[in-house]
């Protein structure tokens, strides 16, 4: 029984050492991952260009030449402010008037 307890204690020590080593490795990996994410974020910030509104002329040129326009969720796309606001305000006003029962 004494020999069995000694073997179990030794095995427990080995397992605790393995857990300690695994914890250290996880910490190192987490630090490395955090550093990589920070570097990627900094690189992205440096590379970001201000989004330009897509003007109607650009849409016509795209249709004529086949040159693709930036997609809606691209950092290179922005709505054309004036017509977008005008359309949004008109739609919201019509919705409110409809809900209130006024014309």
Tell me the pTM. Answer: 0.39
CA distance 33 to 14: 28
Per-residue pLDDT tens digits for 1-55: 788 888 999 999 999 999 999 999 999 998 988 988 888 887 777 666 666 787 7
Of 34-48, 51-65, 82-96, give the range with the top mean pLDDT.
82-96
Q: What pLDDT score does 59 carry? A: 86
Is beta strand 77-78 parallel, antiparallel or unpaired with respect to 52-53? parallel
CA distance 79 to 85: 9
Q: What is the residue extent of each domain of the chain?
A: 1-48, 49-103
Name the residue with tokens 């977008």. Answer: 84
Q: What is the mean pLDDT of residues 67-93?
A: 86
CA distance 49 to 23: 41
């Amino acid at each position: 029984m004494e020999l069995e307890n000694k073997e179990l204690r030794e095995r427990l020590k080995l397992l605790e050492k393995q857990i300690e080593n695994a914890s250290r490795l996880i910490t190192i990996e987490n630090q490395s991952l955090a550093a990589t994410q920070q570097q990627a974020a900094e690189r992205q910030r440096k590379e970001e260009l201000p989004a330009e509104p897509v003007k109607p002329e650009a849409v016509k040129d795209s249709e004529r030449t086949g040159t693709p326009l930036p997609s809606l969720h691209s950092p290179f796309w922005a709505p054309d402010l004036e017509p977008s606001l005008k359309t949004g305000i008109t739609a919201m006003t019509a919705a409110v008037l409809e809900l209130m029962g006024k014309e």
